[in-house]
Amino acid sequence: MTTTMAQALNAALRDALKDDDRVLVFGEDVGTLGGVFRVTDGITADFGEDRCFDTPLAESGIVGFAVGMAMGGFRPVVEMQFDAFAYPAFEQITSHVAKLRNRTRGALSLPMVIRIPYAGGIGGVEHHCDSSEVYYTHTPGLRVVTPGTAQDAYDLLRDAIDSPDPVVFLEPKCRYWSAEEVSFTRSGPAMDQAVVRRHGKDVTLIAYGPMVATAMETAEAAKEEGWDVEVVDLRSLSPFDDETVTASVRRTGRAVVVHEAAGFGGYGAEVVARVTEQCFHQLHAPVLRVTGLDIPYPAPKLERHQLPDVDRILDTIARLQWNDTPAVAGA
């Protein structure tokens, strides 16, 4: 059936609540209101206030409460409402959520999900749009995933709730209302596996979350330039699927990493390093990046200048030394 990403997330939460009595959903305004983006719409009415409930406006308290619930055998799914709102809970996440299994030598695990609507594209004002993924991926002990499609929103959230490890679940706000055919059968790839969204032979576009759709648009536009573009959707930011990514880059010999977070110290730098280290002899050109600017997210009317778009990605592809003699594979 045709479903938006927000509806797919809602369906994933509902199915998890039906299948496992240990699953609880809570956060700011997730109950009666159904969440700012209506991801939890109707869940409290259908499952009761014991299973889906509102909390005080205290992110650190929300995550701290979830830690205790997970230690007690529940599977809490908490919502941070907006990306930058999660920072008051950062100490809880890095010091307790990420470290408890290691601290207890495996005696305790934290099967919990921290849902964070993130990134731009909605014209949000200050503190309502941020790309915070690298903070979490740099923290050992956390799984970090982000869906780029409505189908993945359902599949990844179901897998995240079932995971024995804590998962930071980054939901691209600008894609909440994008619709596609979705099957609620959980037949997708494993949670930590990247996927090739489009096959091509000339260059690999590596994207995730909100930039997956932009990468796919770019691949279509690139046909007019004579480029056959392959698109890899990372899905899992931590752990990283080296096998799928490097296999694609070895086939095409060129790669561009796309994300809307700032470039300096951004997630793309790690991807470039891994690809370069593992595919050096197959590369025909240096791996390039298309990123957001090294500034805070600008005011709504200026946001379009911050976000990577098709033209910027095509301009970057054009810089990939197309006239150079290709390297000899395996040399």
Distance CA(157)–CA(169), nearest Å, equals 8
Strand ranges (E), the chain: 2-4, 23-27, 52-54, 75-79, 113-118, 143-145, 167-172, 179-181, 195-198, 203-207, 229-233, 236-238, 255-262, 288-292
β partners of residue 230: 204
**Whether 128 is catalytic:** yes
Q: Which of 255, 231, 241, 117 is nearest to 175 (CA)?
A: 117
Distance CA(169)–CA(39), nearest Å, equals 13
Distance CA(125)–CA(330), nearest Å, equals 50
Angle between helical axes of 310-317 and 211-222 (0-180°, round to 10) = 60
**How many CB atoms sit inside 10 A of residue 94's CB?**
17
Centroid of chain to Cα 263: 17
Sheet with 167-172: list strands edge to edge.
52-54, 23-27, 75-79, 113-118, 167-172, 143-145, 236-238
β partners of residue 78: 26, 114
Distances (CA, A) of 69 to 22, 65, 163, 165, 235: 10, 6, 15, 14, 27
Instruction: Indicate which residue of 96, 128, 259, 284 is catalytic.
Output: 128
Torsion of CA 114, 297, 123, 303, to 10 degrees: -140
Q: Which of 136, 128, 130, 184 is nearest to 157 (CA)?
A: 184
SS (H, E, C) 276-288: HHHHHHHCCCCCE
Report, as residue numbers or ranges, the catalytic residues.
128
